[in-house]
Amino acid sequence: MDKHLILASTSPRRKALLEQVGADFEIIPSELRENPIIGTPVQQARALALDKARAVAHGRRSGLVIGADTIVVVNSAILGKPRDRHEARTMLRLLAGRRHQVITGLAVIDTGGGREVVAHEESAVWIRSLTDDEIERYVASGEPDDKAGAYAVQGLGSLLVERIEGCYYNVVGLPLVRLDRMLAEFGVHLL
């Protein structure tokens, strides 16, 4: 049975993480219009990850499709990618000096047998207090533009994140230990 991995995501961070652990995989973006989903943040992240994986799995006869969706939650509000730099500033002001949650929904579908496994990982992140000047310099770097919550823990944003409780790679966008455990259910091991 062919168990080659298909990552249903165009995120360069997810691609880099799978490469980091030496995984052999193919990228097929899910052309999913992200419709609003009802439910808690965890339910939304899980449902969207599954939708993405299903969109790519549909009609395929071989391969394990991996879908993922990462969201940033602060005070029960979900922060997506900022629409512009004004919104990026607003998000960073909201996150600075307090704790927030990062949730990644993960789905793995075996296109051969049709079996679906869904899980999620949740980490707490503390961003240090920031001056307006610091927010301005960070926004000007362009890094917040395409990131949920307007920051990247793995880039210049490493100067903002003072504490994590949970899986670090979940905060980057792909919880590797969790994914490895899910793939093991299909007989695939990353290590």
| Member of 10, 16, 19, 20 binding its own copies (CB under 8 A) | 20
How many other CB atoms are there within 10 angstroms of residue 6's CB atom? Answer: 21
Residue closer to its own copies by CB (options 37, 159) is: 159
Number of Cβ within 10 Å of residue 154's Cβ equals: 18
Q: What would the two tokens of residue 191 be?
A: 């290590």
Which residue is catalytic, options 24, 69, 132, 133?
Answer: 69
134: contact with its own copies by CB under 8 A: yes
Measured from the CB of residue 114, what is the shortest distance to its own copies in angstroms? 27
Binding mask 101-130 for its own copies (x = CB under 8 A): ---------------------------x--
Whole-angstrom distance, CA of residue 124 vs CA of residue 136: 25
Query: Shortest Cβ distance from residue 146 to its own copies (Å)?
Result: 18
Bridge partners, residue 25, by sequence: 5
DSSP letter at 129 equals P
| Catalytic-residue membership of 132 | no
Residue 48 or 148 having the CB closest to its own copies: 148
Binding of its own copies at residue 167 (CB under 8 A)? yes
Q: How far is CA 76 from the centre of its chain?
A: 18
Q: Which stretch binds its own copies (CB under 8 A): 15-23, 58-66, 82-90, 99-107?
A: 15-23
24 binds its own copies per the rule CB under 8 A: no
Write down the least CB distance from residue 37 to its own copies, Å.
Answer: 28
CA distance 98 to 165: 13
Check residue 155 for interaction with its own copies (CB under 8 A).
Answer: yes
Q: Where does this chain touch its own copies (CB under 8 A) — which range of 20-28, 35-43, 68-76, 105-113?
A: 20-28
Residue 78 within binding range of its own copies, rule CB under 8 A: no
Q: How far, in Å, CA of 122 to CA of 102, rounded? A: 6
Query: Cα separation of 33 and 41, whole Å?
Result: 18
Nearest to 68 by CA among 109, 113, 110, 114: 109
Report the C-alpha gap between 149 and 166 in whole angstroms. Answer: 18
Q: CA–CA separation, 28 vs 59, rounded Å?
A: 13
Which residues are annotated as catalytic? 69
Tell me which residues touch its own copies (CB under 8 A).
17, 20-22, 128, 134, 137-138, 153-156, 158-169, 176-177, 180, 190-191
